Amino acid sequence: MTDAKKLFIKTYGCQMNVYDSERMAETLEGYEQTDRPEDADMILLNTCHIREKAAEKVYSELGRYKNLKSEKPDLKIGVAGCVAQAEGEEIMKRQPLVDLVVGPQAYHRLPDLVKRTSNGAKALDTDFPEEDKFTRMKGRPKARRAPAAFLTVQEGCDKFCAFCVVPYTRGAEVSRPSSQVIREAQDLVERGVREVTLLGQNVNAYNGHDTGLAGLIWDLAEIDGLERIRFTTSHPNDMDDALIAAHGECSKLMPYLHLPVQSGSDRILKAMNRKHTAESYIRLIERLRDARPDLMLSGDFIVGFPGETEQDFEDTLSLVREVRYGSAYSFKYSARPGTPAAEKDDIDGAEATERLRKLQALLTEQQRAAQDAQVGNEVSVLFEKEGRQEGQMVGKSDYLHAVHVAHEDARIGQIAKVKIVESGTNSLKGEFLREIA
């Protein structure tokens, strides 16, 4: 398509934004993607509002395009995602070079918004429309793609954790019908996908199937050619009996679970409005490991939440030692405007920084121990790309570890049995044994 316009998308934040960027690109007919903003006819920033100073980072990025916009007056610049939802018209006021702003629930309207900008008009859509955006978008193109893909099945959150903006930027919990998800998964498999990760802000609250997320997983497991299933991100209060059982009984559901806890202190969990306790979380982990003894756990932690004492922090360290995480994400609390926690006084910044350092040291120790324990084991690996060295392939193990293998028979999209022979800083080295799928 030699006369196609060029589209540059920069994606911030979570896996769901990666999926959303893919779908936005697919809605824009007549555009092909480029990885160089200077070559683009349209620049689209798909933003995230979770991390500290998220909006300021977007404004800073937009400032870099000022000269490019001057050189190419027909260049269109858009802001999508959660910062777009939260900031709305303020983005256009602060950065006049922005042509369009679209929220995460309205990006199916993106082609119409682009048309409205063709004569120099500005376009803004941060509504929470009644229509289902997934049914409004055209079918996905049939081009081959990477063997692992994200697939959004649920959006929004009704939990209203005191620190989180998601209920305000993504809206209430909404689940896609299972029939729609299964059709999209089948389409992905036809394009070469072997593994899907089911996405949702609160994915295990999925209710688009009669028996919830577990029922959807079992239906997806019936698709020939779909060999691996994962899901993220979950809330402890929505991990039901059927989903726990699926971890032990569904061979295509991978033994890796991201289950955020945020704190090990019941007092802080209550202040966060998490609606679970440290004890209930630990008992849940025990049930999951009873169902799947080799389950690898990942989690999220916030340190320095308003009111957190040294004892509260020690409770978090105790929980981490008891659970034993294979990987985790940890952050120092930063206020999000409009959230309940933003009204509270922050603790001393230096103290919060020191607590984060201690927590990350413990989590890093656990992560390295879990990785080192893989040496000598045989694992299945889905090869996803070529390595930097000639003849090397890189893939993900059942436990989501990056594995490097040098073997002439290894190829992208293949699942092979691999013996782990070495543990590196953030990856494993393995020996190819045999193809299994």
Per DSSP, helices labelled H in 36-155 are 54-63, 66-71, 82-87, 89-94, 110-116, 133-136
Asked whether the CA dihedral 354, 358, 363, 364 is positive or negative, the reply is positive
Distance CA 234, CA 8 (A): 31
Tell which of 331, 346, 372 closes a domain: 372
Edge-to-edge, what's the strand order for the sheet holding 31-33? 31-33, 5-11, 42-47, 76-81, 100-102, 123-125
> Strand (E) positions, 34-178?
42-47, 76-81, 100-102, 123-125, 148-152, 154-155, 174-175
For residue range 257-299, list pLDDT tens digits in order: 999 999 999 999 999 999 999 999 999 999 999 999 999 999 9
Cβ proximity of 236 and 276 under 8 Å: yes
Q: Are both 184 and 85 inside the same structural domain?
A: no
Q: Are both 199 and 57 inside the same structural domain?
A: no
Q: Is residue 136 part of a domain?
A: no
Q: Are both 290 and 358 inside the same structural domain?
A: yes
Q: Are both 347 and 420 inside the same structural domain?
A: no
pLDDT at site 1 = 44
Q: Are both 201 and 307 inside the same structural domain?
A: yes
pLDDT at site 139 = 62
Distance CA 382, CA 385 (A): 10
Q: And the tokens for 246?
A: 């699926």
Q: Is residue 37 part of a domain?
A: yes
Q: Are both 397 and 326 inside the same structural domain?
A: no
Q: Is residue 214 part of a domain?
A: yes
pLDDT at site 133 = 61
Q: Are both 176 and 105 inside the same structural domain?
A: no
Distance CA 149, CA 192 (A): 10
Q: Are both 364 and 419 inside the same structural domain?
A: no
Q: Are both 168 and 313 inside the same structural domain?
A: yes
pLDDT at site 86 = 82
Tell which of 97, 125, 153 closes a domain: 125
Domain that holds residue 406: 378-435
Q: Are both 399 and 328 inside the same structural domain?
A: no
> What are residue 364's phi and psi, to 5 degrees?
-65, -40
CATH at residue 57: 3.40.50.12160
Tell which of 325, 349, 372 closes a domain: 372
**pTM, two decimal places:** 0.83
- Tell me if residue 291 falls in helix, strand or coil: helix
Q: Are both 172 and 213 inside the same structural domain?
A: yes
pLDDT at site 227 = 98
85 CB-near residues (< 8 Å, 6+ apart): 49, 103, 104, 105, 126, 168, 169, 170
Q: Is residue 135 part of a domain?
A: no
Q: Is residue 133 part of a domain?
A: no
For residue range 292-341, list pLDDT tens digits in order: 999 999 999 999 999 999 999 999 999 999 999 999 999 999 988 889 99
Number of folded domains that form the chain: 3
> What are residue 114's phi and psi, to 5 degrees?
-65, -40
What parts of the chain have a pLDDT lower than 50? 1
Q: Are both 75 and 206 inside the same structural domain?
A: no
CATH at residue 413: 2.40.50.140
Evaluate the omega torsion of the peptide bond into residue 232 and state whether it is cis, within 30 degrees of 0. Answer: no
Residues listed for the chain:
437
Q: Is residue 281 part of a domain?
A: yes
